[in-house]
Structure 1
């Protein structure tokens, strides 16, 4: 019964905020496309320089010279939570709404540029590398960014609405809205920890295996 209740709340939440989810998804997708386009606009010298550093990184992966798993996990968690936490704080500030959307767009650019550059330089080999190095953790991180963006936008709009109403609804008081908003951050934190765990402990082994296949 409880499962149906949770599922029902999730479906109700998605329906209620469907327009916001669609907006942030399209914005993120535009960032991905823009990132891929940027790769094609780079000149040969820039591509060669970037590919040189990328080759060194792949060499370190194949030789097992990367940082320790625990250190990689800490760096990944810190980087992602810092980014997502800033989006959460900006949602509270109300005036930070445009910055949230810009940050989401930039996240899309990073993903699009990374995958686009690998495929552009290495062809199907680059696709395999992006499949094991970019896709796995982003299966959780991308939804986390989309959910956080939607929650921040929704929270900001509801607070503005509450401030403008002379008689705000008790069921949607600022305290209630903030409690729900804090709950979203807790869920996002769990998703980030799971994604960072995979990025730190599984991705290096997968990348090493693919690099060995490519070089072999």
Structure 2
């Protein structure tokens, strides 16, 4: 019975929030497109600097000792601030623009990283993206999209209450909101672990097999 209630609640959530998911996804795809075009139209000098850095990384990664704890900390630095910003933004009446900007920024980083890998490594960049970029983002991106929608729903609710001059503070809803974000963080930890323990080995394998990057 509890499982049926959970399924019903999830179904109702997606039905009620479908347009918010569409808006969030549109912002994400906008960011991806911006990332793609940034790589394609960036200054030649900037591009060469990035390529040089990527070359050095490619040469050294196969012999580098991977510190898994350091990678996890770096993953937290890259993703946890976004989740915290979304959580805080949902608690304010002006949070919606901030939430949409976070979606655009996440899309930009993903689009930039994948496009630059293809641009630098050619067909070998496919393996770099499939093994080194895509897997953890399959976890991160849906988590951030769900967090964005939850935050927008709460922000809209607060804005509506302010317009109607109502005070509708629901302690239980705030608790549910925060607990849901904590669950999202727990799911994202799977991505952190993959990025720390699997991604470095995959990239080392690609670097060793590729030998050198050909432009």
Asked if these proteins are the same fold (TM beyond 0.5), I'd say yes
Please say if 1:116 is aligned against 2:112: no
Conserved 8 A contact 1:132-1:206: yes
Which sections of structure 1, spanning at least 5 residues, go unmatched?
none
The RMSD of aligned alpha carbons is 1.9
Corresponding residue of 1:32:
32
Q: Distance in 2 between matches of 1:130 and 1:59?
A: 18
Corresponding residue of 1:213:
209
Q: Distance in 2 between matches of 1:65 and 1:102?
A: 36
Deviation at 1:143, TM superposition (A): 0.5
Q: Distance in 2 between matches of 1:44 and 1:200?
A: 32
SS of structure 2 residue aligned to 1:87? helix
CA deviations on 1:164-185 (whole Å, 9 max, x unpaired) are: 44677xxx75323312211221
Q: Distance in 2 between matches of 1:47 and 1:193?
A: 33
Corresponding residue of 1:83:
82
**Equivalent residues, number:** 212
Corresponding residue of 1:183:
179
Alignment equivalent of 2:197, drawn from 189, 197, 201: 201
Which sections of structure 2, spanning at least 5 residues, go unmatched?
none
With the length of structure 2 as denominator, give the TM-score of the two structures.
0.90
Going from structure 1 to structure 2, the CA distance change for 1:137 and 1:96 (only over 3 Å counts) comes to same
- Select between 155-164 and 133-142 the one with higher mean Cα deviation: 155-164
Q: Distance in 1 between matches of 2:154 and 2:21?
A: 13
Going from structure 1 to structure 2, the CA distance change for 1:213 and 1:3 (only over 3 Å counts) comes to farther
Q: Distance in 2 between matches of 1:213 and 1:31?
A: 32
